[in-house]
Amino acid sequence: MEETSERQPKNPFRGRLAFVGSGVMAEAMIKAVLRKGLVTPEQVVASGPRPERGAELRERYQVLTETDNAAAVRDADIVVLSVKPQVLPKVLPDLFARAAARAMLERGTRGRIVNMSSNCGKVGYPRMAAYCASKFGLIGFTQALAMELAPAGITVNAICPGWVLTPLVQQQIDARAKREGIPVEQAQRDLLGEKQPSLQFTTPEQLGDLAVFLCSPGADNLRGAAINVDGGWVAQ
């Protein structure tokens, strides 16, 4: 019986979970792991939030917060990266090369790294060159790191959402409605109809649930995947 027990993978939710980023996506994933009872708030650290945002997350979820990304991920078994594209060049080398992956290897942890990319990491779009470049690069980084860490049992995968009804997307919808002189509801339908065949927004909760799966034993052999959650957008 002891021999069988030793062959079983570690439960990835026994250690610390570090969420690098404090926006809508990161908060949805925090809510998902807490809602499912997979961790206690004391196991969760949100890294990089502005002081006021950090206070909001602490009050709302009783989680830990940290302003130093490297310090936040150093003791983490699971790292979820959800940051703005313009900070990726600064975050990636420090976060993974010097902190998260190295610490997991030193501890012998069967860790999890989940990167938030985008459908714009798979298909280019006009007037979005810099954003697409960052998201394409993040998928390439995910695949390369997944191969490097695979022998150690550390998985690295990416989530690629389409339209998610975040405050930023709502601003685009409102601007379109004003520009075209149409109701906001019609502007929303038109936006979805152009690209997202399901005609439904992907929800932050759906992204959180997918991140939970990627961190579970069921995803032990899922390596270097970039999973579309876009209502069929990229499949067209």
The residues annotated with a catalytic role in the active site are 131
Q: Are the beta carbons of 218 and 112 closer than 8 angstroms?
A: no
Whether the CB-CB separation of 78 and 15 falls below 8 Å is answered with: yes
The residues, ordered by sequence, that sit 6+ positions from 216 with a Cβ below 8 Å of its Cβ are 12, 13
CA Rg, the chain, in Å?
Answer: 18
> Using CA atoms, how far apart are residues 18 and 103, in angstroms rounded to an integer?
13
Contact between residue 169 and residue 126 where contact means Cβ atoms under 8 Å apart: no
